[in-house]
Chains A and B, each alone.
Chain A
Amino acid sequence: MPVWLDDFLWTYQNVVYALGINGLLALSMYVVLAVGQLSLGQAAFMGMGAYSSALLTLKLHLPFAVVLPAATIPPVLFALAIGTPTLRLSGVYLAIATIGLGEVLRAVYLNVDALGGALGISGIPERAGMVSIYGLLIVALAVLWLVARSGIGRAMEAMREDEIAAAVMGVNVRRYRLGALLASAVLAGAAGALSAHVSSFIGPNEYGFEPAVTILSYALLGGISSPFAPVAGAWILTLLPEALRGFADLRLVFNGLIIVVVVLFLPNGLLPLRMRRWVK
Chain B
Amino acid sequence: MLAQQLINGVLLGSTYALFALGFTLMFGVLKVVNLTYGFYFSAGAFFALHLTKQWGWPIAAALPAAAAASGVLAVVLDWLLLTRLRRINAPELSSLMVTLGAVLALYAGMTTWLGPDIRRLPAGVLGGEALVLGELRITQAQILILLATAVLVGGLLALMRLTPIGLALRAMAEKPDAAGLMGIDTAKLAALVSLVCGALAGAGGVLIGLNFNAIQPYMGEAMMLRGFVVIIIGGLGDVRGALIAGLLLGVVETLTAGYIDSGLKEAVAFIMLVAVLWTRPSGLFGRAHIQRA
Contacts and interface: CB of A to CB of B under 8 A. Distances in A.
A90 B228 contact: no
A103 B293 contact: no
A249 B232 CA distance: 35
A91 interface: yes
Given A99-B228, A100-B269, A264-B85, A209 B293 contact: no
A259 B96 contact: no
Interface stretch (B11-19, B55-63, B86-94, B163-171): B86-94
Interface stretch (B117-125, B180-188, B191-199, B273-281): B273-281
A240 interface: no
B263 interface: yes
A72 to B, nearest CB: 20
Contacts of B224: 99-100
A250 B101 CA distance: 14
B100 A216 contact: yes
B266 interface: yes
Contacts of A250: 108-109, 112
Interface residues of B, number: 46
B222 interface: yes
B101 A260 contact: yes
Interface residues of A, number: 53
B81 interface: yes
Contacts of B277: 82, 85-86, 89, 93, 97
B266 A107 contact: yes
Contacts of B97: 38, 216, 220, 259, 263
B93 A91 contact: yes
A256 B266 contact: no
B101 A256 contact: yes
Interface in A212-253: 213-214, 216-217, 220, 249-253
Contacts of B221: 103, 209
Given A108-B263, A164-B293, A252-B108, A91 B101 contact: no
Nearest to A259: B101
B98 interface: yes
Contacts of A217: 101
A126 interface: no
B102 A264 contact: no
Contact of B91 (A91, A210, A249): A91
A112 interface: yes
Nearest to A106: B266
Contacts of A112: 263
B267 A260 contact: no
B98 A260 contact: yes
B270 A101 contact: yes
Contacts of A258: 101
A9 interface: no
B104 to A, nearest CB: 3
B242 interface: no
Interface string B21-32: 000000000000
A255 interface: yes
Nearest to A103: B225
Contacts of B107: 252
Given A90-B92, A95-B93, A100-B224, A213 B101 contact: yes
B101 A81 contact: no
B33 interface: yes
B281 A93 contact: yes
Nearest to B91: A91
A264 B274 contact: no
A146 interface: no
Given A210-B108, A256-B108, A103 B274 contact: no
Contacts of A86: 277, 281
B266 A213 contact: no
A59 to B, nearest CB: 21
Interface in B126-182: none
B101 A263 contact: yes
Nearest to B98: A263
B114 to A, nearest CB: 13
Contacts of B263: 107-108, 110-112
Contacts of A259: 97-98, 100-102, 104
Contact of A256 (B105, B278, B293): B105
A89 B289 CA distance: 10
A256 B228 contact: no
Interface of A: 36, 38, 40, 81-82, 84-86, 88-93, 95-97, 99-101, 103-104, 107-108, 110-112, 163-164, 167-168, 209-210, 213-214, 216-217, 220, 249-260, 263-264, 267
17 contacts: A38-B93, A93-B281, A103-B221, A103-B225, A104-B225, A108-B266, A110-B263, A111-B261, A210-B108, A213-B100, A252-B104, A255-B101, A256-B108, A259-B98, A259-B102, A263-B98, A267-B94
